[in-house]
Amino acid sequence: MRIRISHETRYHYAAPISGVIQTLRLTPRNHDGHYVVRWRIDVTEDCRLNEHEDAFGNITHTFTAEGPFDELGVQVEGEVDVQDTAGMVRGTVERFPPSLYLRATPLTEVDRAIAEFARETRARSDETLPLLHALLGRVHSEMTFDTDPTHTTTTAAEAFALKRGVCQDLTHIFIAAARHLEIPARYVGGYFHRIDGVTQQDAGHAWAEVYVPSIGWVAFDPTNGICTTDAHVRVAVGLDYLGASPVRGARRGGGAESMAVKVLVDQAGRQVQS
């Protein structure tokens, strides 16, 4: 499937700021079954986008914009051709051995409840792949998708206690449980093309990749209860959300700040109803 993506992030500052520096992880790259047809980043202020690769092999763009200004917009737009690989992830840039992804982070730290959840799930299968599918099913069915109670700094333990959260939270819980079971797992940020006809979204999507020795990396989407398909556009990976966050930065001055995000994910070439 060829997927068209438009992702706008717009900041409004209560008072003009004197400058801003940001790092963007908003550019997908090619791997088996995942080919970038075209991709473009635009920033509303005059600046230079400097392209690099981070430690995980993600494509990053860094820019500095000098003020004063009271609004800033970052717009990405492009198309990616995605094939269904049954969740198997091959041909990606791999800078580290899989064992690195056993490392816990503050967002994916295991507490007693998640550890017990993982142990209960292990009782359902001794083999890695069936165990992961069991874990996927339990996170998907026992957590409620809810945009209200959590935020970007919510930990896996906090979201698990609430039994609610967004895709980031469900992914962190899945990763925390997998690592507790000694299965390397990492966070993936990207986009998801919904089959229900909804193209306008409030944010990107998140899922996990886990390493199965006999297969390699396999991607699991606990929010939707599936392995990834040709509806998933993979952009960045990390140990958790912070390592794959689409936008991070700092500003000078400006007082209070608000941010609005608009994401459109649709099949390329299809007419969008306004």
The answer to whether residues 191 and 227 belong to one domain is yes
Does the residue 273 lie in any domain? Answer: no
One domain for residues 76 and 89: no
Judge if 131 and 239 occupy the same domain.
yes
Residue 259 lies inside a defined structural domain of this protein = yes
Together in a domain, 54 and 177: no
DSSP assignments along 152-216, one per residue: TT--HHHHHHHTEE-HHHHHHHHHHHHHHTT--EEEEEEEE--TTS--EESS-EEEEEEEETTTE
Mean pLDDT of 209-215: 95
Distance CA 76, CA 246 (A): 11
Whether residue 213 is contained in a domain is answered as yes
> Are 163 and 221 members of one domain?
yes
Q: Would 274 be classed as within a structural domain?
A: no
Mean pLDDT of 8-30: 95
End-to-end CA distance of the chain: 22
pLDDT the model gives residue 67: 87
262-271: pLDDT as tens digits: 999 999 876 5
274 pLDDT more than 60: no
- Residue type for 54, please? D
Residue 256: pLDDT band with limits 50, 70, 90:
confident
Instruction: Give the mean model confidence (pLDDT) for residues 213-234.
Output: 97
| Same domain assignment for residues 223 and 109 | yes
Cα(169)–Cα(74) distance, integer angstroms: 25
What's 28's DSSP letter? -
Task: Give the DSSP letter of residue 100.
Answer: G
Dihedral angle computed from the Cα positions of residues 38, 189, 58 and 175, in that order, rounded to the nearest 10 degrees: -150
Q: Are residues 108 and 218 in the same domain?
A: yes
pLDDT, tens digit (0-9, with 9 covering 90-100), for 61-107 = 999 999 899 999 999 999 999 999 999 999 999 999 999 999 999 99
CATH code of 71's domain: 2.60.40.2250
Same domain assignment for residues 152 and 214:
yes
Judge contact between 272 and 198, C-beta under 8 A.
no
Residues 236 and 253 occupy one common structural domain: no
Using pLDDT thresholds of 50, 70 and 90, give the confidence band for residue 254: confident
**Inside any domain, residue 272:** no
Shared domain check, 75 and 101: no
The verdict on 121 and 172 lying in the same domain is yes
Query: Is the pLDDT at 173 greater than 60, yes or no?
Result: yes
For residue 60, the model assigns a pLDDT of 97
Between 274 and 115, name the one with better pLDDT.
115
CATH number, domain at 225?
3.10.620.30
* Cα–Cα distance, 157 to 132 (Å, whole number): 19
167-180 and 128-142 helices cross at what angle (nearest 10)? 140
Contact assessment for residue 78 and residue 5, using Cβ atoms and an 8 Å cutoff: yes
Give the C-alpha distances (Å, rounded to integers) separating 225 from 26, 134, 138, 228.
25, 10, 9, 9
228 is a domain residue: yes
Residue 127, class by beta-carbon neighbours within 10 Å (0-12 exposed, 13-18 middle, 19+ buried)? exposed
Same structural domain, 107 and 212:
yes
Within-domain flag for 140: yes
As for how many domains the chain has, the answer is 2
Q: Does pLDDT of 255 surpass 90?
A: no
pTM of this prediction? Answer: 0.94
Per the structure, the complete domain to which residue 169 belongs is given by 84-244
In whole angstroms, give the CA distance from residue 137 to residue 145: 14
pLDDT at 273: 46
71: in domain: yes
